[in-house]
Amino acid sequence: MSASLGRALGCAALVGATGLAWATVEAQWFTVRRVTVPVLGPAARPIRILHLSDLHLTPDQDRKIAWVRSLARLEPDLVIDTGDNMAHVDALPAVLHALDPLLGVPGAFVMGSNDYYAPMPKNPARYLTHDARHERITENTRLPADDLATAMRDAGWKDLTNRRDVAVVDGQDVSLVGVDDPHLDRDRFPVLTRSHRSTVDLKLGVAHAPYRRVLDAMHADGADLVLAGHTHGGQLCVPLWGALVTNCDLDASRAKGLHGWPGPRPDEPGGHGSTWLNVSAGLGTSPYAPVRFACRPEATLLTLVGR
C-alpha cells in the first residue's frame, strides 16, 4: 500500500469515526420545535398542541424519560401522541412514567408498529427502497399495546384507532379523526356519520405513518391540520440537503416539519386548497441504530392561531 493511499484510508476512517461519535451524541440532543399555524377562526383563542412521536423508549433511558416529563412545563392545551412509544417488551412502565405529567392534559393518540411489535435488527440498506416493508413484522415479539391504550384512555385521552371523537380544548370543540398504523396496513378510515357533522372550531387528523392514501383521505375529510410521525425526519440526513428516506411513500422533502398537503411544492401552505401537515422527526430511534445525523430528536409545540 502506498503512503498516500494509507493516509487517505486513515483520514476516511477518522471522518467516519467522528461522524459516528457525533451521531451518537445527537441522538440524545432533544429539542422542542416551535411552530405557529394560522388555522383557527379569526376571533378564536390560540390553542397550544404538544405533538409527541416515536419515543421508542427502553426501560433504561432515564434521560429521555426525564426530558419528556419536563414538557409539562410548556403547559399545552392538548397533547397528541402519534405512536411508536415502546422499543422493549418491558418498556410500558417507563412510557407511563414519562407521560404521567401530561396525562392530566386533554389528549389523543394512535399506535405505531413499535407499540405492537418490538424492533429487530435490520439491514439499513432496506430503507433506501420506496417502501421498506419486506420482513414479516408479525413474527416480532409482541408488545403490550392494549395495556398502553387502556392506560391512556383511563387518563381521559381519546383513542383514535380507526375512529372519530370530539375533545373540548380551552372551551373550543375539536373534531378528531385517526387511523391505526398505516405502515402495518391497519388503517381503516372511519365513516363520517351524522353525529359527527356538527359545527366545530377545528378538525384534526392523526396518524402514525404519513402515507399518501391517509393524507389524501384526511384532506378530503376536511381536516384543518394533520399530525403524523414515523419518519424520524430521515434520521441520517445530509447537511444543507435534508432527508434521503421517509420509510413510507411520502416524499423526502416532507420528512419533517410543517408543510401543506397536497400541493405541487412541499412548502405550499395549508389553507390555500391544502391541509396543514406536521410531521414530527420524533424523539427516539431503534435500539439497534441509536444514531441521528443532522436531524435532532424533537417534540413539537404548535401554536394554532386565527387565519
Which tens digits make up the pLDDT trace of 63-112? Answer: 999 999 999 999 999 999 999 999 999 999 999 999 999 999 999 999 99
Predicted confidence (pLDDT) at residue 125 exceeds the cutoff of 60: no
Tell me the percentage of the chain whose pLDDT exceeds 70. 82
Query: Any idea how long the chain is?
Result: 307
Predicted confidence (pLDDT) at residue 165 exceeds the cutoff of 80: yes
Average pLDDT of 119-144?
Answer: 64
Classify domain 3-306 at the CATH topology level: Purple Acid Phosphatase; chain A, domain 2 (3.60.21)
pLDDT at 120: 84
pLDDT at 263: 74
pLDDT at 6: 47
Joined together, the cell numbers standing for residue 270 give: 395549508
Joined together, the cell numbers standing for residue 264 give: 405541487
Let me know: does 120 contact 89? Beta carbons within 8 Å.
Answer: no
Name 228's Cβ contacts closer than 8 Å, sequence gap at least 6: 53, 82, 206, 207, 208, 209, 210, 214, 215, 277, 278, 279, 280
Q: What is the mean pLDDT of the chain?
A: 88
Predicted confidence (pLDDT) at residue 8 exceeds the cutoff of 90: no
Q: What is the pLDDT of residues 182-192, one digit of tens each?
A: 999 999 999 97
**Does the predicted model carry a pTM greater than 0.95?**
no
pLDDT band at 251 (very low <50, low <70, confident <90, very high): very high
Of 113 and 127, the one with more pLDDT? 113
Q: What angle do CA 87, 147, 209 make, to 5 degrees?
A: 50
> 135-149, 188-202, 282-296 — which one is most confidently predicted on average?
282-296
The side-by-side arrangement of strands in the sheet containing 163-169 is: 163-169, 172-178, 202-206, 225-228, 275-279, 257-261
Rounded Cα distance between 218 and 192, Å, is 11
**Would you list the domain boundaries of the chain?**
3-306
